[in-house]
Chain A
Amino acid sequence: MFSVFFAEILIKIAIRNLFSAKLKSLILGSFVFAGTILVVVGNSLLDSIDDSMSRSIVDSFSGHIQVYSDSAKDELSLFGGMIMGREDIGKIDDFAGIRNELLKIDNVLSVIPMGIDTALVQKANTIDVELAELRDAVRTNNKPKIQAKSRHIRRIVGLLEGELKNLDNVARTKDRQEDEEHIRRAASAVFWSDFSQDPLAALEFLENKIAPLSLESQDIFLRYIGTNIEAFKATFPLFEVVKGNAVPNGRRGFMFNDFIYETQIKHKVAVRIDTIKKARDEENRMLATDEELQQLVRQNVAQFKEVAFQLDDEETAMVRQHLKDKLNLGTDEQEFSIILQQFLEMNDDNFSIRERFFYEYITPHLALYAIPIGGTLTITGLTRAGYVRNVNVPVYGTFQFKSLEKSALSGGQNLMDMMTFRDLYGFGTADRVEENAEIKKEFGVVEVARENADEALFGGEDAAIVSDSATTGFDEFKNVDLQGAQRYTQALLERIYTSDEINTGVALNAAIMLKDPTRLDETVAVINRVSQEKNLGIQAVTWRAASGLVGQFITLVRAVLYVAIFIIFVVALVIINNSMVMATLERVREIGTMRAIGAQRGFVLWMLLVETAAISLFFGGVGAMAGSGLVLTLGQVGIPAGADILVFLFSGPRLYPFLAPIHLVIAFFVLLGVSVASTFYPALIAMRVTPLQAMQEEE
């Protein structure tokens, strides 16, 4: 029935019709055009983002596959789950054994132990630090140091007192009144002249009554991955050291994520100045117009003490002189705090100069980072048994995941060695427990009887224990010789563990890198089967499943895109349908004539189909070409990641989208579906037209 002759006439009529109704064709065409561009570009972008995001996640710390205990109560969620508090993902008791079994599976390249958790870290505030040093000076009877330190503390108390004067009398509660009395006492000349008579009592007063008032709480929560750092470095290509060094192989140690280090550990005033600088330089924002930046300036002014507290008399004098010389700020009569506040009151005109001044003349006198590299971090953790435990661990440096440095998502994880992790968690192996006990004995650390049964059960021993912990329920070292504990800590930190030792013991989960990532799902299935068969007690999930919402992100966006495409094409469908119905009604006489002359119904159907198909394919084709062109151009130029979250999704500062033929195939079928569906109803009308209708008079 259908012949070339048909095709010829159908196409001829279709094209004639399309050209005779240019506007209609254009309107229909533009819908199809827009829809096709959306299909091609949207799919390309999503696939590219999916690709780059998977690299961000897989190559930074998830690996292709994650395994964890199959008796876990919660699902593994590498970026933190929805549950408030801790998820319970169980534990892998014998990591070394599991690792051996996993390495037997042919597609498995490497297996890295992990334990992800959150712990509390105390950032000592200035007055604490100064008081500790004063106490030390008193103990060693170091007169000049006592002098210097008490002057510094007196200055801090003076600043606190100065603040009191600004307070509103009405709002004073009883507690407040007491606090004020303490501050007045500490600020009085008598208190300091009497200091040398009973320095220890005076110190106690300062430590207990004044220090807590000095500044807001300095505790921060850190999310960290306990891991075999050596293996971690070798496995995850995005890992790179930013400041300091990586933890030396086999050592205990901690590495901050540089993002955390720069935003949470750094001096707050400096962080705010950095933020303003970045906003001005990279986002073209202005202090004059940007409410958020103005807020930062106000906070800096209000919290000038963060700077003032850290400067002793000498440093204060130096900074005061520099401010006067370089910036022409302040007179000799003015109080330093007023000048400092003036300095911090920055605007667009003076920001750049003051930012440079701040880093050149002020920060050298400040503890720019609350926990310096090379310093020691005190981590308070909660063992599985609910026992609070403190460990000291040296900070070797900071790291970042290459090109993801700006991203808060990948910047959330810090790194810790596996040994410290196990100690903190209460998962020490029998060998280690014994070893630690021996070192303790050797250095004269006296063991104190344990009341906690859980603790005995886990056999956990604190690795590098803080002696003067104020944590409740932590009394282990009350009677212990301080020097001994310090030497014990030192010995532990110098201990070099072999890879075998690190792998032996508990891990919470493990990352697996594959030789052939395309066989991801298959390998997950193999691991799960092997675990069943050999009773390994583990379950494997893909990186996507392990990433929780982050992993589902693309699926969500894709759903949104498809809904958008669907809506566009439904609208197109309705419009095409309507205009085809109109066109058909207008052409009843013509169709009737054709039928009278001898055209079968099938011919009429084909005529309409070819017309819609011609529109769809032409504009769809143009749309597909335009879309492909756009994707290819973007693939060359790259799409800049404007927001920090995009850096993570793009796996770098720019996304270079790629074009896959499948996107064009999808576009083609979508178009085909739309044209067929939109022709259905008009075709029905057209096929009902009888030859008799050709004879009806034109009105």
Chain B
Amino acid sequence: MNAIVTLNEVVKEYRLGSVVVPAVRGVTLAIDTGEFLSIAGPSGSGKTTLLNLIGCVDTATRGTVTVDGQNTATLSERALTDLRLHKLGFIFQSFNLIGVLNVFQNVEFPLLLLGNVSKVERTRRVEKIIEQVGLSEHIRHRPNELSGGQRQRVAIARALVTNPRIVLADEPTANLDSVTGDKIIQLMKHMNDNQDTTFIFSTHDPKVTRYADRVIRLKDGQIDDENGVPAKPLAVSA
């Protein structure tokens, strides 16, 4: 299987005045297409940072990050945005729906950004995905009329509507109760099973990680080999 994402000796340092805070310290990793991958680790271990690097919303201090064959360090801000739009989907911890738009419009938003999807096609795709996440009855509701779990479903629908290669989710269940959180992970897993979209999500909830095909454990910005569960062998091509 081809690696959709590779990280090679990736280092990310934050600079707070004169102090350098290393958030990720030399991570080498390959993620295959269609994987359902969990990134686990204690608070401050660098999960979010790693996801941001993969998600092209941040760039590495050193090392290379390749997404769908493209070295993100070589891309312009505009090209990165384009890459996000076409190849990636995001699910946020706090859902991040656009408050003034209803469920349908929120899900439609990325399709409109694509700029080349006809209205008919948009409607078809939006309605289909909303049905898949089970929100057809709430299609005209605004986010503030929905529960947390429902909102996160909308977010999942929005992330998937463009058929991205990778969906990134940073602690998608952190703001949900455990039952709902479980359902959300199951939904993501279900979507992952049906399509060949790669899912990468972070969590520090051990219950959630069990749905993962593979769990990468981070500790102090590095992969914790001892506690790591390399469900698949790390085939890193340098």
Chain A residues near B (Cβ < 8 Å): 3, 5-6, 8-9, 12-13, 16-17, 20, 589-590, 593-601, 603, 690-692, 694-695, 697-698
Contact = CB atoms under 8 A, between A and B. Distances in A.
A12 B170 CA distance: 29
B100 A695 contact: no
Contacts of B84: 596-598, 691
B81 interface: yes
A692 B90 contact: no
B158 interface: yes
B92 interface: yes
Contact of B96 (A3, A5, A589, A601): A589
B101 A598 contact: no
Nearest to B81: A600
Contact of B112 (A9, A600, A601): A9
A16 B92 contact: no
Interface in B97-151: 98-101, 105, 109-110, 112-117
A3 B114 CA distance: 10
A695 B115 contact: no
A594 B98 contact: yes
A217 to B, nearest CB: 82
Interface in B73-88: 77-78, 81-82, 84-86, 88
Contacts of B45: none
A589 B55 CA distance: 17
Nearest to A7: B112
A595 B77 CA distance: 11
B229 interface: no
B58 interface: yes
A698 B58 CA distance: 20
B112 A8 contact: yes
20 contacts: A3-B115, A5-B112, A5-B115, A12-B105, A589-B96, A590-B99, A593-B98, A594-B98, A597-B84, A597-B110, A597-B113, A598-B84, A603-B113, A691-B84, A694-B96, A695-B48, A695-B52, A695-B92, A695-B170, A697-B94
Contacts of A594: 98, 109
Contacts of A598: 81-82, 84-86, 88, 110, 113
A596 B57 contact: yes
B93 interface: yes
Most buried by A among B77, B78, B105, B112: B112
Nearest to A693: B57
Given A5-B115, A695-B52, A595 B81 contact: yes
Contacts of B115: 3, 5-6
A57 B82 CA distance: 68
A364 to B, nearest CB: 85
- Top-5 shortest CB links A-B: A598-B85, A16-B100, A691-B57, A593-B96, A9-B112
B137 to A, nearest CB: 22
Contacts of A694: 57, 90, 92, 96
Contacts of B100: 13, 16-17, 20
Contact of B101 (A12, A596, A599, A603): A12
Given A590-B98, A598-B113, A695 B93 contact: yes
Nearest to B117: A5
A597 B85 contact: yes
A253 B105 CA distance: 88
B98 A690 contact: no
Contacts of A597: 84-85, 90, 109-110, 113, 158
Given A593-B92, A596-B57, A597-B84, A13 B101 contact: yes
B59 to A, nearest CB: 11
Interface of B: 48, 52, 55, 57-58, 77-78, 81-82, 84-86, 88, 90, 92-94, 96, 98-101, 105, 109-110, 112-117, 158, 170
A633 B158 CA distance: 54
Contacts of B99: 20, 590
Contacts of A698: 94
A601 B78 CA distance: 8
Contacts of B112: 5-6, 8-9
Nearest to B112: A9
A603 B114 CA distance: 12
A600 B113 CA distance: 9
A690 B105 contact: no
B156 to A, nearest CB: 13
A17 B99 CA distance: 9
Given A593-B92, A595-B81, A598-B86, A9 B109 contact: yes
Residue of B58, B96, B105, B158 with most partner-chain A CB within 10 A:
B96
Contacts of B96: 589-590, 593, 596, 694
A603 B115 CA distance: 12
Nearest to B110: A597
B165 to A, nearest CB: 13
Contacts of B105: 12
A17 B84 CA distance: 25
Contacts of A695: 48, 52, 57, 92-93, 170
B55 A13 contact: no
A8 B112 CA distance: 8
Given A20-B100, A596-B57, A695-B52, 10 more contacts: A5-B112, A5-B115, A5-B116, A593-B96, A595-B81, A596-B55, A598-B88, A692-B58, A697-B93, A698-B94
Nearest to A698: B94
Nearest to B51: A695
Nearest to B118: A5
A603 B78 CA distance: 12
Contacts of B114: 5
A589 B113 CA distance: 18
Contacts of A590: 96, 98-99
A694 B101 CA distance: 17
Contacts of A697: 93-94
Residue picked from A13, A598, A694, most chain B C-beta under 10 Å: A598
A355 to B, nearest CB: 72
Most buried by A among B81, B100, B105: B100
Contacts of A601: 77
B31 to A, nearest CB: 19
B141 to A, nearest CB: 14
Contacts of A17: 100
Q: Which residue among A6, A9, A697 has the maximum number of chain B CB atoms within 10 Å of its CB? A: A9
Most B-side CB within 10 Å, residue of A6, A597, A697, A698? A597
Nearest to B97: A593
Nearest to A691: B57
Contacts of B78: 600
Contacts of B85: 597-599
B214 to A, nearest CB: 23
A21 to B, nearest CB: 9
A17 B101 CA distance: 9
Contacts of A595: 81
A698 B48 CA distance: 16
A601 B113 CA distance: 12
A400 B19 CA distance: 91
A13 B108 CA distance: 12
Nearest to A19: B100
A589 to B, nearest CB: 7
Contacts of B86: 598
B146 to A, nearest CB: 16
Contacts of B90: 593, 596-597, 694
B159 to A, nearest CB: 8
Nearest to B159: A597
B145 to A, nearest CB: 14
Contacts of B158: 597
A691 B57 CA distance: 6
A27 to B, nearest CB: 19
A593 B55 CA distance: 13
A583 to B, nearest CB: 12
Q: Which one of B48, B99, B113, B116 has the highest number of Cβ atoms from chain A below 10 Å of its Cβ?
A: B113
A24 B180 CA distance: 38
